[in-house]
């Protein structure tokens, strides 16, 4: 074998190895989501507070069992003018992983005004898992949640004010349970 044939064989061998490596990488990546992400299923729902849609409220799902992924992601959504929401976990409106959740609700005064974005018209009454009695189950299929109705909730009149009492007693029951 002369040196010219050896050079051609080595070039063809390197080319073949390059194609094998590239094909392996491409095939390995096709159709995959990042390894840390859980599979999600489309989820939508609606919410009212004292019979009215809480426009701009943030609905967050807190897993009741194991965390949904290694980053402990929590599905969430912002409520629209009709009281509707569509959950997202990783991408806009991608849904939520299957499982059982506690629903938290925080209703800021103005999400566009950062000084008001951390406020809560409900005074934190539903902002934490240990305070919320709202429970939902997400199936391994597209899910439309039963309407969430928070009744007899104390809602503040304006930023910085005390919550006004729409009904005597603690925050009322909510559905679904």
Delimit the domains of the chain by residue range.
1-32, 36-177
Q: Residue 72: phi, psi to the nearest 5?
A: 55, 45
By DSSP bridging, strand 58-63 and strand 43-49 are unpaired
Model confidence pLDDT, tens digit, residues 47-70? 999 999 999 999 999 999 888 888
Superfamily of domain 36-177: Immunoglobulins (2.60.40.10)
Burial 96-106 (b: 16+ CB within 10 A, else e): bbbbebbbbbb
Q: What pLDDT score was predicted for residue 8? A: 55
Rounded to whole angstroms, how far apart are CA atoms 141 and 20? 37
What 3-state class would DSSP assign to 37? Answer: coil
* pTM (2 d.p.): 0.70
């Amino acid at each position: 074998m002369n040196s010219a044939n050896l050079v051609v064989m080595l070039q063809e061998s390197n080319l073949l190895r390059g194609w094998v490596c590239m094909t392996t990488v491409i095939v390995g990546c096709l159709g995959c989501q990042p390894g840390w992400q859980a599979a999600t299923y489309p989820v939508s729902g609606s919410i009212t507070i004292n019979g009215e849609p809480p426009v701009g409220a943030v609905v967050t799902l807190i897993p009741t069992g194991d965390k949904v992924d290694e980053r402990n992601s929590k599905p969430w959504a912002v409520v629209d003018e009709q009281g509707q929401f569509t959950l997202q976990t990783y991408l806009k409106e991608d849904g939520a992983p299957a499982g059982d959740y506690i629903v938290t609700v925080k209703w800021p005064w103005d999400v566009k005004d950062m000084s008001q974005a951390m406020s809560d018209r409900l005074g934190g009454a539903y902002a934490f898992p240990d305070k919320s009695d709202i429970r939902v189950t997400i199936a391994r299929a597209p899910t439309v949640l039963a309407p969430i109705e928070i009744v007899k909730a104390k809602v503040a009149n304006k930023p910085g004010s005390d919550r006004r009492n729409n009904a005597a007693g603690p925050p009322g029951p909510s559905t679904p349970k």
